[in-house]
Structure 1
Amino acid sequence: MTGAPQRGRAVAGFVLAAAVLGLLVLAGLRSVPAGGHLAATWPAAGAALLWVLTRRSRAAARAAIATSGLVTFGVGALATGDPAFAALMAVADTTQLVVVVLLATGRGVQLPYARTDLRRVVLAIVVGSAVGTLLATGGATALGTSFTPLEIVAWWGRQAVGLSTVGFIGVFLWVEHRQGRTLLGEVLKIHRRPALERLPLVIASVISYAVMLLPEDAYIFLAIPPAIWVASRYSSVFSALHVLGVSGAAIGLTAAGASALAEPSNSPAAVVLGLQIFLLTLISSVLSTAVVNEQRSGLLDEVVQRDHERAERLELFDRTTAAMSEGLAVFEEDGTLVTANEVATLLLATTDLDGCEDGCATRLPLSDALEGRRHSQDVVVRTTGSRPRDLVLAVTAAPLRASESWGGRRRVLVVFRDVTDERAGREALTDFAARAAHDLRSPVAAARSWIGFTQHQLQAGEAVDPQDVSESLDATAAALDRMIALVSGLLEQATAEDGRLRCTPTDLAAPDGPLLRAHELQAPDAELVVGPLPCVEADPELLLQLFGNLLGNAVKYAAAGRAPRVHVSGSLDGDRVLVRITDNGIGVPADLRDTVFDRLTRVHGHLGVTGSGLGLSICRTIVERHGGTIRCEEADPAAGLAGTGGPGTTFVLDLPAAARATSADPRDQPRPPSSHLHDSGGNAQTSFTEAAAE
């Protein structure tokens, strides 16, 4: 049921369009100036184009084309009484219509028409009207009616004007109407404006219409500037409506002989040609201005929209950066702070970031970033205030794309991230894995040594002294207890240690100091000579690990058949204590002394000595955490160990000196050799058993 009413409305609309087209054909035939045979206007060409381009299918468009040809022939034959001439007009107009439609719509003929390509439209009008003009004038000449070149040009102009005004301007208004921009709506917008704003429009319209009545035909072109002004100030829909009004007035006044173009001195062909030139100039100028104005308005709307979106993005960015735990800051190439989020502002205000030892933490990344390289590094800074503490910051710098508003200056984005806990946790985990795998071997080795000592006595059939057995068992138990304590300490460190150094003034050579404690864990035949040793400011547990690894290596890599001997001495070097540890072992080849500290490196792995290759790497880590360095050298002759074993090795390391060690008071000078240990100049040396007994 719903299809029948729709078909009825479609048929009624089709018949109404055909009727309007017939009236426009008749109007064109009646616009012939007095004494001429060429119509001043031909709106039927544009009406037929409008009818075809607004169809929704190709079948409907073909029906409209065929009907327009029949209507033109019928009305023309009735109005002129010349069926041959009417048929010629119908063929020319139909051919012109087909050419314009094909050129305007392009390949595929997409309907209904919705293009706004001005260049394609102009090309279609020029070519289509030229084809129609040549067919009409050529056919008329064949029928006995000749046309002068001026009349041929006037015919072409008439067709082009009809296609432009009624055709494409009508299509444009129809497309805008479908998109919600109706003529009534545009007129009401202007009507709602204040009277003072509407007054210039009224004046421009009056000028456009009034100049057409002036006596000189050249004055009619003064109607164009006001029309251009209207197109530049108002919407394209209203501009199209205004140009239709001006064009209609010019055509009507000229047809009535009341315009400046219809002067008696002008021939009919000149009148028609002058009118077409005026209308083409008016339409092209106004439409070009309207298109530019529309594009400008679109660009302005786009700019406003982009500014709005940019403002929203900036607001979102500000909120995002404010909620971030990382600090973001932008610096000039000279290090001047441009902007920063809250975290970076607080960080820069509460740390000595600009005064760190390696220069400025923001300047080092800047130099690389300004060269186009992304730079990342960890920087240790100290907070200011009453309770300063060290922070580890991961600093990343990246160059920013230059902007004209920066005056040619380059800028760098710097990101600060507090990784203190992360680095401490990672370091604690690494220390636990390395120390647990390596250091538990020392107490186990000591226990095995005491057990082996007792087994040797029993297997040799020697009389066993109960006191020696008791001492061996006690020492074994002590070594095992030390192993248990070390395991417990490592487990506690893995779960609770914060990774920072717990530095205290430490006497290395004290009976309970880290040096002798480390020596107690070695084999019983290992001998130790301790020279002068200033006190240091260090972590005692880490020092125990340091000396345990170095003394353990001296024992493991002792020369075959020789008792391991180690000489340790130290001296002040400014605010550092330079410690030298010399052994009489098999030594380290000169070409491997730099790589011996690399993790998992074993120089003498071929000897079958057990080990993980982590000992010296852990030593280097401990020394570096105290701000020092460690190196491997050939044995120091001053240690007095020449000829007691192998070529030997000297490890040189530096540790922070304790405050009292750097004092000028004689009581604070390097500690002399212990009473139970002779200095390096004596011949007698005390064994581990004697030292333990004492």
Structure 2
Amino acid sequence: MSLRTSLARTTVFAALYTVATVAGRMTAMNGHGLSLVWPAAGVAAVWFCVQRGSRNRWVDMVALTTIVFAVNVATGGGTGLALGAFLAIANLVQAVVFAWLLGRLRPTLWGAGGRDRLASPRDLGYLVGVTVAAAAVSVVIGMTGVWLFTEQSLLLAFADWMARQIAGMFVLSALGLWFGPVVAAIFMRHSSPAGWLRAVDRTLRATPGWRVGEYLAVTVCSVGLYLIGFVFDNGLPLAFPVIIVIVWVAVRLSTGFVVAHSVIFGAATVVFTLVGLGPMATIADPHAQALVAQLFVVIIAVVGLALALGRDERAALMRELATEKEQAARNAAMMTTIFDAMADGVAVINDEGRVVMHNPAAVRLLSHPGAPTVRAKDIRERLRHLDGTPVANRDLPHIRALAGDRIEVVDMVLLDPGERESRIFRLTATPLPSASGANSAVVLYHDVTAERRNRDELASFAGVVAHDLRNPLTTVEGWTEAAVEALDAAGGGPAIEQARQGLIRVTRAATHMRGLINDLLAYTAARDEALAPGPVELAGLVADIAQDRTDAAMAGGRAVPRFTIGALDAVYADAVGVRQVLDNLMGNAIKYTAPGVIPQLTISSARHDGVVEVTVADNGIGIPSGQHEAIFDNFHRAHRGAGYSGNGLGLAICQRVVARHGGTIRAEDNPGGGSRFVFTLPATRKPAEVAQRHRSGARASSDRVAVAA
């Protein structure tokens, strides 16, 4: 807010405050110097709220104090300068306390630091509380001055002063806090009086004709009832029918009209009482007369605003509810469309085992031919593990999900009752909790029959091709060796040496090709060959592999690796597969070592709840960041072009073998430098647990390995 704008507002409010103060003194009852109302309290409250954050607040304080002091002294409101000063301070403190409390309690309201206007009974309650608190502070200061300088301290006078401050402050502050945002918005949008008039005209044009008639009817009825209650009452207390109009206005018409109606007809009550008309004028005691008149004004204002703001709040909640309902309906329609358009089957199964919701794809994929719906019983009876064994009730995906498990991926076979072949589904089950306690499970059925068939055909083709390539490769190797021998026998010469080098390159390429073919065959065998699990002593197996690697290094003139073999637990697994895993991991550890560094390997194990965790750690070049999972993919090489040969199938074979045993394998960085591979296998001492683990691993993990690979 600029200094010029702030001073302009100070000038306007100072003028309004002067008028309100003089008007309040004009309502002083004869012979008592007691004002019937004090509108200056409301003007001051709005003044200090509007000037919140002003850089010249001291100007506002000086102006308010000067005005109230001068008017009170000039009109006899304070006996002497000292009492006039006390009363001026009381009015100043009241305005400051009102603005401060409103800003602390309802900072979102216009005039309290925000932009909102009164919108709910809660806002009204805070406004009433702030008004009472500010008035109480003012009355304590003012009555203290009266007691000090006049030695008068009447309880009724105290109550009258309190009611007068509350009435003036509450009614006018409600008027200001309601119309303030509207007026401010008009002034911000339009800079001329013509623009203000156009805004008012648009507001009137937006009001339906019958509503205009109702406003006029309310106004006429209000005038009539006030005349009956205050002019033609024949000495009877007939002011109470006015409450009927207040309720009518509050229930039917705008809140702004309610505020204006309360201010206008509250002022009419004061005027009638001053001229000796109405039930309040018949009260002999001036303090009691003023108190009753002010309470009447406050009551009609509070009742009207409470009803109107309650109605507005309900209307706002209904609009919000209608909007949310409409949005929810749109979202539901969109979700239904997506749900029905899904190619995968989705079924929601409750805790009673009934399918309570499904999409058309679920009917097409899971139900009997021609059946219109999906029945959980049919699925349960036809569901099998990948090895063909029935699925126990506790292993059903939706049962496990209802127990709290989240089934990420599990493959199962669904027997087809018709002539079609049985299909393989990849199932995902997720718990679906409910506030009522009746939980359900969402099961997703993804048909992977064609995918598995294509993959199996491709794997079989790769195995056949790899096997068939051995014969021509053997021929190439044999004739290459014979050609080299013939060249050696032919003697020397540049041409002979060039031919010899060419044949050496052919031999190297054939050797690399044979390694690739052997790995492809091993990869296929790791997936297809039946496992023959039994007790396997890891200690002897690791020692044999270590000796073979040592002999190979010595024969090739390379650095001899150093092995540290800890205590190794026995496992229940396929001996050939376990040897293949350990040989690949130990071979990689030796191969991926920096030049000039002696390979150092540490092989150890630990047993946890029927599972043996085997660790192979090395001091090699390590695994590049972000590739600790990707290295298990088919044909993935983490160190391409770095002088390290390989075809990227070794770790994929390890993962496939371990997974078929129901275990897991992971790669980590070795804290001492290098890499560390950790895999798990069933222990030997719990046959029942081993069998169960092996069965579930063979069923559920085979395809997961293929996907990862």
Q: TM-score range by the shorter chain?
A: 0.5 to 0.7
Matched, 1:79 2:75: yes
Preserved contact between residue 190 and residue 198 of structure 1 (Cα < 8 Å): no
Rate the CA distance shift 1:383–1:176 in 2: closer, same or farther, 3 A.
Answer: farther
Match of 2:444 in 1: 415
Does residue 208 of structure 2 align to residue 209 of structure 1?
Answer: no
Structure 1 match to 2:34: 38
Report matched runs for 1:104-503 at 5 Å: 104-106=102-104, 112-114=111-113, 117-144=123-150, 146-178=152-184, 191-193=208-210, 201=218, 205=222, 209=226, 212-213=229-230, 214=233, 219-224=238-243, 226-263=245-282, 265-349=283-367, 353=379, 355-356=381-382, 358=384, 364-375=396-407, 376-381=409-414, 388-403=420-435, 409-427=438-456
Amino acid at match of 1:172: W
Query: Structure 1 residue 31: deviation in Å?
Result: 0.9
Q: Is the 8 A contact 1:157 1:277 kept in 2?
A: yes
State the Cα RMSD in Å.
5.1
Q: How far, CA to CA, are the matches of 2:363 and 2:265 in structure 1?
A: 66
Structure-2 change in CA distance of 1:244 and 1:422 (3 Å):
farther
Q: Is the 8 Å Cα contact of residues 114 and 175 (structure 1) preserved in structure 2?
A: no
Q: Deviations over 1:332-376 (max 9, x none)?
A: 434443333332233234667465155899993332233333345
| Contact persistence 2:106–2:112 (CA under 8 A) | no
Task: Say which SS state the counterpart of residue 35 (structure 2) adopts.
Answer: coil
Q: Where does residue 606 of structure 2 map in the other structure?
A: none
Q: How does 1:580-659 map to 2 (within 5 A)?
A: 595-596=573-574, 599-600=577-578
Tell me if the contact between 1:329 and 1:415 (Cα under 8 Å) persists in the aligned partners.
yes
**Aligned-pair distance for 1:27?**
0.9
Counterpart AA for 2:87: M
Q: Letter of the aligned partner of 1:599 in structure 2? A: G
Shift of 1:322: 4.1
8 Å Cα contact 1:393-1:418 kept in structure 2: yes
SS in 2 for 1:599: helix
Q: Does the Cα contact within 8 Å between 1:227 and 1:286 map onto a contact in 2?
A: yes
SS in 2 for 1:59: coil
Query: Residue 89 in 1 paired to residue 84 in 2?
Result: no
Provide Cα deviations, 1:284-334, integer angstroms capped at 9, x if missing partner. 333333443333233222222222222232233234334433222223434
For 1:399, the aligned partner's letter is: P
Asked whether the equivalents of residues 333 and 411 of structure 1 are also in contact (C-alpha less than 8 Å), the reply is: yes
Alpha-carbon deviation of 1:165? 0.9
Structure 2 gap ranges (5+):
188-198, 370-377, 385-389, 478-512, 531-568, 584-649, 661-709
State how far apart, in whole Å, the 2-side matches of 1:394 and 1:184 are.
68
Structure 1 regions of 5+ residues with no counterpart? Answer: 449-482, 500-541, 547-590, 606-611, 622-694
Alignment match, 2:45: 49
Q: 1:236 to 1:143 in 2, by over 3 A?
A: same
SS at match of 1:58: coil
The answer (yes or no) to whether the contact 1:70–1:90 under 8 Å persists in 2 is yes
Deviation at residue 274 of structure 1 after TM alignment: 0.5
Q: CA deviation at 1:413?
A: 1.6
Paired residues of 1:240 and 1:287 also in contact (CA < 8 A): yes
Specify whether residues 357 and 347 from structure 1 end up closer, same or farther in structure 2 by C-alpha distance, changes over 3 A only.
closer
Deviation at 1:162, TM superposition (A): 0.9
Greater Cα shift, 21-30 or 322-331: 322-331
Q: 1:130 offset after TM fit, Å?
A: 1.7
Give the equivalent residue in structure 2 for 1:568.
Answer: none
Q: Are residues 370 and 235 of structure 1, via their aligned partners in 2, closer, same or farther at CA, if it must alter by over 3 Å?
A: farther
> 1:439, CA displacement in angstroms?
10
Relative distance call for 1:192 and 1:403 in structure 2 (3 A) is farther
CA contact (8 A) 1:208 1:227 kept: no
Which has more radius of gyration?
Answer: 1
Structure 1 residues 124 and 235 mapped into 2: Cα distance closer, same or farther (>3 Å)? same
**1:220 aligned counterpart, secondary structure:** coil
Aligned-pair identity (%): 25
The 1:47–1:197 alpha-carbon spacing in structure 2 relative to 1, beyond 3 Å, is closer
Change (3 A) 1:13 1:321: same
How many aligned positions are there?
A: 476
Q: Distance in 2 between matches of 1:138 and 1:301?
A: 51
1:125 aligns to what SS in structure 2?
Answer: helix
CA distance in 2 between partners of 1:198 and 1:208 (Å): 15
Matched residue type, 1:101: A
Q: Which digits, 9 at most, give the CA deviation of each residue in 1:237-284, with x for residues without a partner? A: 333223223322222222222221111x43111110111222233333
